[in-house]
């Protein structure tokens, strides 16, 4: 019974904001207080405390003219234990210290659940959607769209009810920000909107309310807003045909088509800069600036050659004609380049390696080692709306040409939408650049600082070449000019580790595989 009374008094003291230390003892159902409350005694009729009745506090000097009340009602109305916790921007890439806020999916007052989208940020290399770790109410946003947010800084406050879980989660988040060194995998989040949010947004649309400093809120899905940004269009100029004036994907595409018609009808007026203009670098340009500055400290050397491409064309045509037997209906030359490149690397693993520099104990010079990497994560240089990116296809040595084609198509589609994930951008081991799709023959590619070699593919051309023919009857050797499909190949390598002989031998091996595609089947495991 004493334990029950103590629990009761604990809630009682919290309800009346009494210091628990002012309660001195409990004896015979009488609560004795310290000197400050010595004249104020509260009689507890615990004799009536049964399984069906709760303790009742009688009238006292402390509460004159007050009716007795039941404790369980007051305990239900005790002080709120909600806590406002900071949501920190986690590290989303190797060496990335800040990200640009591209868009917010929430606003102050919105209710969010765990794994709901909070915002989209643009790092040096990729666009990532940040999801919530907590369930609660958004209290405040600390950055505007276009602002640069530091990794580890507070981007939003969320009021949550589960204090213990929140504290543990916040401590874990801070620890991760301090210790994490690799890019986290960007996980797909489930978008759930509560009825309250839908009602609020509908009211904003119907009443013409303003949010975020007087700007009218336009209803549109995140995917639709992304398309709007890609075409550099003001969403306010698009008339929404969806529910409550919501802008749909079709609305955006129709608006883009209308603008193109207008552009065709308008006479061309060349645009010239009237005066000098200074603009900041984009995130991708900043990344390229840093990487290329570091790469140019590498002593480069180049090598180039021409490969006959006639047999590859025939090989691909045979695959296309038999496309009903495969899941891939269309295949380009690039998967054949990539697979044959990987097969050639098996005999020259040094080209797929990387340099490890370790500090030597007690010495001035560092210890240089070579890491031979088993995985062939071949990077493919891509021109995206945001700039040059080099995602890579993982473990090419274990994949077929069709599997490589599927991965390549996925990366190309993601690149067009600026949706290449950080996972696709990290852990590359060697790079292929297909500049021939745009134009040009030979070039001097720059080696990425974490790799030892890069190859560039030029434009396929039909050119005259001498061919040696031997007469089977007379044995006479003749030369004749024939038309051949020729593809120029350029290499650059780190001359601190790779020598010219190694590149020349590798090139001959790759050339032999491309000029004789049947050998690929012999090399497959």
Residues taking part in catalysis: 495, 499
How far apart (Å, rounded) are the C-alpha atoms in residues 523 and 417?
Answer: 36
On the CB side of 273, CA atoms within 13 Å amount to: 4
Q: 38: how many CB neighbours lie within 10 A of its CB?
A: 10
The CA distance from 190 to 105, in Å, is 13
Q: Which residues have C-beta within 8 Å of that of residue 295, sequence separation ≥ 6?
A: 446, 447, 448, 449
Helices within 322-460 (DSSP H only): 334-345, 401-416, 422-425
Residue 364, phi-psi category: left (phi > 0), alpha (psi -120 to 50), beta (remainder): alpha
Q: Which residues contact 517 (CB under 8 A, 6 or more apart)?
A: 311, 312, 315, 336, 340
Residue among 328, 341, 321, 326 at smallest CA distance from 392: 341
DSSP 199-249: HHHHHHHHHT-EETTTEEPPPB-HHHHHHHHHTT--GGGSPP-SGGGPBPH
Q: What token pair was written down for 89?
A: 């921007």
Q: Give 358's contacts (C-beta < 8 A, 6+ positions apart).
A: 366, 367, 368, 369
């Amino acid at each position: 019974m004493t334990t029950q009374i103590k629990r009761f008094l604990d809630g009682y003291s919290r309800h009346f904001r009494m210091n628990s230390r002012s309660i001195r003892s409990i004896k015979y159902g009488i609560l004795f207080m310290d000197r400050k409350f010595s004249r104020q005694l509260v009689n507890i009729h615990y004799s009536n405390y049964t399984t069906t009745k709760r303790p009742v506090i009688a009238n006292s000097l402390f509460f004159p003219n007050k009716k007795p009340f039941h404790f369980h009602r007051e305990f239900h109305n005790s002080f709120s234990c909600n806590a406002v916790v900071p949501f920190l921007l986690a590290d989303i890439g190797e060496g990335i210290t800040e990200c640009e806020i591209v868009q917010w999916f929430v606003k102050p007052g919105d209710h969010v659940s765990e794994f709901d989208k909070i915002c989209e940020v643009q790092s040096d290399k990729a666009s990532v959607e940040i999801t919530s770790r907590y369930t609660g109410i958004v209290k405040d946003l600390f950055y505007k769209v276009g602002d640069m947010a530091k990794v580890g800084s507070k981007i939003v406050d969320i009021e949550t009810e589960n204090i213990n879980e929140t504290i543990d989660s916040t401590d874990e988040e801070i620890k991760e920000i301090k210790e994490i060194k690799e890019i986290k995998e960007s996980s797909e989040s489930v978008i759930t909107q509560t009825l309250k949010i839908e009602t609020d947004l509908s009211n904003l649309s119907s009443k013409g309310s303003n949010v975020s400093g007087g700007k009218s809120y336009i209803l549109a899905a995140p995917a639709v807003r992304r398309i709007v940004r890609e075409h550099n269009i003001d969403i306010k100029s698009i008339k929404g045909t969806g529910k409550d004036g919501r802008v749909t994907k079709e609305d955006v595409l129709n608006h883009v088509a209308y603008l193109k018609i207008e552009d065709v009808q308008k006479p061309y007026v060349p645009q010239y800069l009237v005066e000098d203009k200074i603009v900041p670098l984009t995130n991708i340009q900043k990344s390229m600036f840093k990487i290329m500055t570091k790469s140019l400290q590498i002593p480069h050397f180049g090598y180039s050659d021409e490969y006959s491409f006639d047999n590859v064309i025939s090989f691909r045509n045979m695959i296309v004609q038999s496309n009903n037997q495969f899941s891939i209906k269309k295949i380009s030359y690039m998967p054949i380049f990539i697979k044959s490149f990987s097969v050639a690397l098996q005999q020259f693993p040094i080209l797929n390696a990387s340099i490890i520099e370790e500090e030597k104990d007690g010495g001035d010079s560092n210890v240089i080692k070579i890491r031979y990497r088993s995985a062939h994560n071949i990077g493919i240089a891509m021109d995206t709306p945001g700039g040059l990116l080099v995602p890579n296809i993982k473990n090419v040595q274990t994949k077929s040409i069709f599997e490589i084609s599927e991965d390549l198509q996925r990366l190309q589609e993601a690149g067009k939408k600026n949706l290449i994930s950080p996972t696709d951008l990290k852990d590359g081991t060697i790079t292929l650049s297909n500049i021939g799709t745009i134009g040009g023959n030979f070039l001097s590619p720059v080696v990425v600082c974490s790799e030892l070699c890069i190859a560039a593919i030029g434009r396929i051309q039909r050119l005259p070449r001498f061919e040696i023919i031997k007469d089977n009857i007379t044995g006479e050797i003749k030369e004749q000019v024939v038309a051949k499909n020729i593809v120029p190949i350029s290499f650059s390598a780190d001359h601190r580790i790779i020598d010219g002989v190694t590149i020349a031998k590798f090139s001959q091996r790759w050339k032999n595989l491309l000029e004789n595609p049947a050998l690929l089947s012999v090399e497959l495991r």
